[in-house]
Chains A and B, each alone.
Chain A
């Protein structure tokens, strides 16, 4: 088992050979968990913007706005919506699943806007 695993370990190790700008070293999962413990909202929202903006904070801010605008546009004419479905989902699903749904909906509405900044596809 470990012999076969060696190749993957080597792949991970290779990245340690790459020099990294010191200002960027902090961004990691541990960094975010520490920010949660310290209630450092600025660090957390910065990461959310970086995530949605493919590494560009300002782009991420615009992407978040874009998703909300797209959602708002769909509601201005008061179309019939399945509110029972919404209430059931919110009431019966755990918060982590709803958070996952929240991230999914962001990309759904960004995709729907027709302006897709990301390199790949969801």
Chain B
């Protein structure tokens, strides 16, 4: 735990909106999460992460753009960590570079599926970067496109993980 605390910058929370401009979105249209309709052992899972994880050799996320990147990447769920890389400027990636599972638990999910604790995994997982300053564009493009791509995987549940 002490190691984790060292990765947090002093006063991080006080400056979070200046580090991630536009991140403090206020929405009134709260939508409750859907209920799982079948047992875990019969449910097909996907995984969506803001960790900026992508297959090696694919177009890197645009970490230098001042207004952010509104694209996502498909990450094959049978990938090995060495098949993947991280392009993300805004969170400490040291731990994830040592073991990708701490931020993108792909091997843990593969194990849960192999042990039949969950029913299976979608062909692809999904990732994008969390630096998106244009909230309206985020909602109308990235979120819509991503939701459509996830739904096309014919799944029962999706795990959402911020980085």
Task: Tell me how far the C-beta of B147 lies from the nearest C-beta in chain A, rounded to whole angstroms.
Answer: 4
* Contact of A25 with B24 in the complex, beta carbons under 8 Å: yes
Interface residues on A, range: 35 or more
Interface hit among B73-81, B82-90, B104-112, B116-124: B82-90
* Contact of A5 with B147 in the complex, beta carbons under 8 Å: yes
Task: Tell me how far the C-beta of B60 lies from the nearest C-beta in chain A, rounded to whole angstroms.
Answer: 7
* Contact of B63 with A27 in the complex, beta carbons under 8 Å: no
CB of B151 within 8 Å of the partner chain: yes
CA distance A1 to B145 in the complex (A): 10
CB of B1 within 8 Å of the partner chain: no
* Contact of B34 with A1 in the complex, beta carbons under 8 Å: no
Partner of B33 from A10, A18, A107 at Cβ < 8 Å: A10
The 9 closest A-B pairs by CB, nearest first: A55-B19, A4-B151, A5-B147, A24-B17, A6-B31, A16-B26, A55-B15, A55-B18, A119-B92
Name 19 A/B residue pairs within 8 A (Cβ), A-sorted.
A4-B151, A7-B34, A8-B160, A10-B31, A11-B162, A12-B25, A12-B27, A12-B139, A16-B25, A16-B27, A21-B17, A27-B21, A29-B22, A29-B134, A100-B65, A107-B63, A118-B90, A119-B92, A120-B52
